[in-house]
Amino acid sequence: MNPKEDASLKELIRKSALLNAVKHDGNAQTGPVVGKILGEKPEYRDKVKELSALINEIVKEVNGLSIDEQKRIVEQKWPETLVKEKAEGKHLPPLPNVDKYHQVVTRYAPNPDCVLHLGSARAIVLCYEYAHMYKGSFLLRFEDTDPKLKRPSLEFYDLIRKDLAWLGCKPDEEYVQSDRIPIYYEYAEKLLKAGDAYVCTCKHDDFRERILEQKPCDCRDLSVEENFVRWKRMLEGGYKEGEAVLRVKTDLDHPNPAVRDWPAARVIDTEKFPHPRVGSKYKTWPLYNLACGVDDHLMGITHIIRGKEHLTNEVRQQYMYQHLGWKYPEAIHYGRLKITGATLSKSKIVQGMREGIYTSWDDPRLATFAALKRRGIQPDAIKKMIVDVGPKTSDVILSWENLYAYNRKILDQSTDRYFFVQNPIELTVRKVPKSFDVKLGLHPDHPERGFRTYRIQLPEGDDSVLLWVSKKDVDASKVGIMLRLMELFNVKIEKANMYSAEGVFVSESYEDARKAKAQLIHWIPVGNDFPCNVVMPDATVTEGVAEGACKRLKPNDIVQFERFGFVRIDQVNTKLVAYFAQK
Ligand SMILES: [Zn+2]
């Protein structure tokens, strides 16, 4: 068949060309498209010449579209390709020993005692991206086995699920450890039965003294039967808090005393500290290394990706894995990620909420995902930043500016621009020769998005017009100076105080302003404005007026207020309430 007459071939070429274009900043290359088509339609191998001509033609046509248009078509017709693109387009270093496993499985395991915040992002994004990079599985596991000191709270299970969904890291499976307590008991009993664990009833200080001297306590060599009697008593509530601990045997001469015979389960007075999900049902609770170690094995986790503060936990768990005849997963321990100026401490966030310093989890002063979302920080900006940092072991210090740079790359092109005048004062301009019609594009690079128009109408028998300008732009220091009202005309300021200003029309030409190096300022016609409050990252409110066209905005829209910053629209009613994202 002549390639030109094969409609399905044409469509295939178009798809391939569009995908290639999106990958290469809007410019598809013919070579890879030819290769791709020949791979899928080998019957055209003896018609390469005709085929190449056709591909050339279609590539040209595709390259004639703007990248936004290309993306729009791909999104509409082949959305599945974008998901793939996202997961594979990143450049994380490969995981170790992937070939040894049937499928890569990673997990994110938060304690539901707070909402998620920027400090959680590294663990989540790396685990999620790696799972997807290898077409594996990403699990969410709620580690809620400390009803006393790290007490989980019901609201957080759901808030964490929502946070993950917002970040675009939805888990493939979910587990809750408080549902699995009998499983941990089962493995505790296996260890006891094999003599690899014991129930220690020593006073904490006595045990510590012995273990520091690399000596066993008296409980270590009790018979299996005696251990089971003690274990049963633990389960039935026969011991009070602190009276009995299940310990897993290790080398007593391990150089790190914190590893030696580590505690695996302890008694908690759940009458006093009921668990929010299972109440007082259990008196004995697994500690971190028992629950986490057992789960990682049973859930088939192949790659544990976590902070290097967990290195000692790996050493502890290795002993348990040996006892049970299991193979420890690959473990990748990354360095600390600090973000200067951000409160990344869960306890400080929770305390601030309790004391009423913050009124909600999305208070703009917080670095919670909820707050970032409210401000218009894009989840993809966070993802991209984390992927770029990668899983390296050295500590990394980032700033808000780093995150803003990623966010700006997304928002700069995707948001429309509007005028916003903060702390407005009225400027009267006299000697205006005529009425003006101003057409303002929504985005300088995207004329296709349209524009707003404003008429600056001279009243009957009057030559002056009224405009809102910012107190910051027009103050006493500007008297006698020419300013350019953007896209409108040049004005010489004659008077200015805290409440109003007066000026006189100079000329319309932008060239005059350029020559005089006049400052360009924003303006909004009085009468075609919309009051607007912007909530800033420090929770203060900047008052101002937005241009009338902002009345059509909707909550969750993100726009750029020119010379002010990117904001997310939060409410639209008699006035606009916006949250400030960044400059
Ligand atoms: Zn003991």
pLDDT at 189: 98
| pLDDT for position 86 | 46
What is the Å distance from ligand 1's center to 229 Cα?
15
Q: Cα(81) to centroid of ligand 1, in Å?
A: 59
- Cα of 201 to ligand 1 centre, how many Å? 5
**Angle 475-477-478 from CA coordinates, rounded to 5°:** 75
SS3 470: strand
**If you measure from the C-alpha of residue 238 to the centroid of ligand 1, how many angstroms do you get, rounded to a whole number?**
17
- Report the sign of the C-alpha dihedral through residues 164, 165, 168, 173, in that order: positive
> 193 alpha carbon to ligand 1 midpoint, in Å?
17
From ligand 1's centre to the CA of 319, what distance in Å? 19
Q: If you measure from the C-alpha of residue 252 to the centroid of ligand 1, how many angstroms do you get, rounded to a whole number?
A: 13
pLDDT given for residue 294 in this prediction? 98
- How far apart are the CA of 248 and the centre of ligand 1, in A? 12
Length of the chain: 583
Cβ neighbours of 204 (radius 10 Å): 11
Taking the centre of ligand 1 as the mean of its atom positions, its distance from the CA of residue 315, in whole angstroms, is 22
- Cα(208) to centroid of ligand 1, in Å? 10
**How far is ligand 1, taken at its centre, from the CA of residue 210, in Å?**
9
How many angstroms is it from 247 CA to the middle of ligand 1? 9
CA of 268 from ligand 1 middle (Å) equals 18
Query: What's the gap in Å between 328 CA and the centre of ligand 1?
Result: 28
Ligand 1 mean position, distance from CA 205 (Å): 10
SS (H, E, C) 225-283: HHHHHHHHHHHHCCCCCCCCEEEECCCCCCCCCCCCCCEEEEECCCCCCCECCCECCCC
Phi-psi region of 527 (alpha: psi -120 to 50; beta: other; left: phi over 0): left
Instruction: Tell me how far the alpha carbon of residue 242 lies from the centroid of ligand 1, in angstroms.
Output: 12
Instruction: Report the separation in Å between the CA atom of 200 and the middle of ligand 1, taken as the mean of its atom positions.
Output: 4
Distance 73 CA to ligand 1 centre (A): 69
How far apart are the CA of 203 and the centre of ligand 1, in A? 8
Residue 85: what pLDDT?
A: 46
87-104 burial: b if 16+ Cβ within 10 Å, else e: beebeeeebeebeebeeb
Q: How far apart are CA 524 and CA 181, in angstroms?
A: 64
Query: Can you spell out the DSSP letters for 306-375?
Result: EEGGGHHHHHHHHHHHHHHTPPPPEEEEE--EEEET----HHHHHHHHHTTSSSSTT-TTS-BHHHHHHH
CA of 353 to the centre of ligand 1 (A): 41
Residues that place a CB less than 5 A from ion ligand 1: 200, 202, 217, 219
Measured in angstroms, how far is the CA atom of residue 231 from the centroid of ligand 1?
13
Which residues does residue 368 pair with via DSSP β-bridges, in sequence order? Answer: 117
Segment 221-224 long-range contacts (CB within 8 Å, at least 24 positions apart):
222/198, 224/192, 224/193, 224/195
214 Cα–ligand 1 center, Å: 13
CA of 221 to the centre of ligand 1 (A): 9
* Cα-to-centroid distance, 539 and ligand 1 (Å): 53
pLDDT (tens, 9 = 90+) of the chain, 583 residues, equals 777 788 888 888 999 999 999 888 888 988 889 888 887 887 888 888 889 899 999 999 999 998 888 988 888 888 777 655 444 445 899 999 999 999 999 999 999 999 999 999 999 999 999 999 999 999 999 999 999 999 999 999 999 999 999 999 999 999 999 999 999 999 999 999 999 999 999 999 999 999 999 999 999 999 999 999 999 999 999 999 999 999 999 999 999 999 999 999 999 999 999 999 999 999 999 999 999 999 999 999 999 999 999 999 999 999 999 999 999 999 999 998 888 888 778 889 999 999 999 999 999 999 999 999 999 999 999 999 999 999 999 899 999 999 999 999 999 999 999 999 999 999 999 999 999 999 999 999 999 999 999 999 999 999 999 999 999 999 999 999 999 999 999 999 999 999 999 999 999 999 999 999 999 999 999 999 999 999 999 999 999 999 999 999 999 999 999 999 999 999 999 999 999 999 9
- Quote the ligand 1 centre to 322 CA distance (angstroms): 22
Q: Which residues contact 213 (CB under 8 A, 6 or more apart)?
A: none
Q: Tell me, what's the pLDDT at 89?
A: 46
CA of 279 to the centre of ligand 1 (A): 29
Tell me, in angstroms, the distance from the centre of ligand 1 to residue 217's CA. Answer: 5
C-alpha 207 – ligand 1 centre gap (Å): 6
* 320 Cα to the center of ligand 1, angstroms: 19
Q: How far is the CA of 225 from the centre of ligand 1 (A)?
A: 16
The alpha carbon of 70 and the centre of ligand 1 are apart by a number of angstroms equal to 69
Expressed in angstroms and rounded, the spacing between residue 470 Cα and the centre of ligand 1 is 73
User: How much is the pLDDT for 87?
Assistant: 45
In the chain, how long is the greatest CA-to-CA distance?
107
Q: What's the alpha-carbon Rg for the chain, to the nearest Å?
A: 32
Which among 279, 343, 331, 278 is positioned nearest to 306, based on CA atoms?
A: 331
Per-residue DSSP letter, 298: H
Query: Going by C-beta distance under 8 Å and a sequence separation of 6 or more, which residues neighbour residue 162?
Result: none
Distance 263 CA to ligand 1 centre (A): 11
CA of 153 to the centre of ligand 1 (A): 33
What gap in Å lies between CA 132 and CA 84, rounded to an integer?
A: 9
Distances (CA, A) of 77 to 18, 143, 163, 376: 11, 41, 29, 28
* Per-residue pLDDT at 88: 44
Find the 194 Cα to ligand 1 centroid distance in Å: 18
Dist. CA 111 → ligand 1 center (Å): 29
- Taking the centre of ligand 1 as the mean of its atom positions, its distance from the CA of residue 262, in whole angstroms, is 12
Instruction: Determine the distance separating the centroid of ligand 1 and the alpha carbon of 129, expressed in angstroms.
Output: 44
Distance between Cα 218 and ligand 1 center (Å): 5
What are the start-end ranges of the E strands in 410-464? 416-418, 420-422, 424-430, 436-441, 451-456
Edge to edge, the sheet with strand 105-108 lists: 105-108, 137-142, 173-176
Distance 215 CA to ligand 1 centre (A): 11
